[in-house]
Amino acid sequence: MAVFGTNETKVMLPRNIADGMIKETRTLSTIAKLSAREPQRFGETEYITFNDFPKAEFVEEGAQKASTTGGFGSVKSKPHKAQVTMRFNEEVQWASEDYQLSILSQLGDAGQVALARALDLGAYHRINPLTGSVITGWDNYVTATTKSVEIATADADADLRAAVGLLLNQPTSWGVNGVAIDPKFAWSLSNLQTKNADGSPSGVQRYPNLGFGTDITSILGINAAQGNTVSGTPEAADTKVRAIVGDFQNGIRWGIQRELPVELIRFGDPDGQGDLKRNNQIALRLEVVYGWYVFADRFSKIVDAV
């Protein structure tokens, strides 16, 4: 039986391809590497937040209990739909089932990269990956944080320490458990050398575990993930953000709210590239709905001088 039937408008992505896409999305996204995905229902998901840490009270036998200090509120994650639309010659409908499955596999390979990067670009910078423009209607994103360190010296690790200090040296600290690093900053870290007694470079790599900085997994005891989505490139103009550090474990709450159906489109102009019938084409559209909420005050960013 053909994968692309003659009447269906929806075809299900084979489970092995869909599962692989989700796995690769976790691998390719710096957010997904540092922050665990959680189950979410479709629509807004509410999270309870404490305005202050509640304090326990020791109560003597027979004594009255006082009201516990601290209040709570709530925030809501919002759904964000991302889509990938790809065109193929309509003759693919008449090809063998194996060939049609290979087309779906190609769509999955391309989609997993696009959707993983979309998660980072949206949650970090509120960037629309296709156009590179900022989605001004979104007000919840990581780099909205007011905690920022501008690169001022050649010692990249000093900038990282300063960014961590902005988070730890405050009355309420949520801790630091992850850092997302742009390749430019990763290279700066890996290129650092220890110093001789006179202050001159020793020629010995300061952080030998970083190698050339091409696949950093930890730095100074913090889990790390590297990716150019930190700077927003190449989809958008360079944001000048070189690293984002903070509470990735609880400061970003995200999940995938919908399954991964593929829509088979035979008619019309679904992506502004011309009429399908006129061009002897069909289109396959893959959509995923993310949901996330970001506690921006739990992050600090390292930025290049403008």
Q: What is the pLDDT of residues 20-50, one digit of tens each?
A: 555 545 557 899 899 887 655 555 665 555 4
Q: What is the pLDDT of residues 137-192, one digit of tens each?
A: 999 999 999 999 999 878 999 999 999 999 999 887 788 999 999 999 999 999 99
Residue 1: per-residue pLDDT: 43
Residue 240, judged by CB atoms within 10 A of its CB (0-12, 13-18, 19+), counts as middle
State the average pLDDT over residues 105-133. 85
State the average pLDDT over residues 277-306. 86
Whole-number percent of the chain with pLDDT over 70: 75
Whole-number percent of the chain with pLDDT over 90: 39
State the average pLDDT over residues 254-272. 75
Which residues lie across from 302 on neighbouring strands?
149, 243
Residues 6+ apart with CB under 8 A from 32: 25, 26, 116, 119
Residue 54: per-residue pLDDT: 65
The residue with greater pLDDT, 292 or 244, is: 244
Q: Which of 86-100, 144-158, 191-205, 281-295 has the lowest mean pLDDT?
A: 86-100
Q: Return the structure tokens found at 267.
A: 């008619």
Query: Domains in the chain, please, with CATH?
Result: 10-50+74-298 (3.90.1690)
Q: Return the structure tokens found at 206.
A: 């300061």
CA distance linking residue 32 with residue 30, whole number of Å? 5
Residue 21: per-residue pLDDT: 53
Got the DSSP string for the chain? --SS-SS-SEEEPPHHHHHHHHHHHHHH-HHHHHS------SS-EEEEEESS--------TTPPPPPPP--EEEEEEEEEEEEEEEEEEGGGGGS-HHHHHHHHHHHHHHHHHHHHHHHHHHHHH-B-TTT--B-TT----GGG-S-EEE--SS-HHHHHHHHHHHHHSSSS-----EEEE-HHHHHHHHT-EEE-TTS-EEEEES-GGGTTSSS--EETTEEEEE-GGGTTTTTSS---EEEEEE-HHHHEEEEE-S--EEEEE-SS-TTSS--TTTTTEEEEEEEEEEEEEE-GGGEEEEE---
Residue 174's nearest CA partner among 74, 244, 251, 245 is 251
Mean pLDDT value across the chain = 80
Residue 267: per-residue pLDDT: 80
Which residues lie across from 293 on neighbouring strands?
253
The residue with greater pLDDT, 276 or 126, is: 126
Peptide bond into 234 cis (omega under 30): yes
Computed from CA positions of residues 21, 26, 30, 36, in that sequence, does the dihedral angle turn out positive or negative? positive
Residue 91: per-residue pLDDT: 67
Q: What is the pLDDT of residues 102-115, one digit of tens each?
A: 766 776 667 778 88
pLDDT at 208 over 70: yes
CA distance linking residue 128 with residue 232, whole number of Å? 10
Which residues lie across from 262 on neighbouring strands?
11, 286
Q: Which amino acid is residue 52, in one-letter code?
A: D
Q: Return the structure tokens found at 113.
A: 């990269």
pLDDT tier, 228 (very low <50, low <70, confident <90, very high otherwise)? very high
Residue 75: per-residue pLDDT: 60
Residue 3: per-residue pLDDT: 55
The residue with greater pLDDT, 236 or 263, is: 236
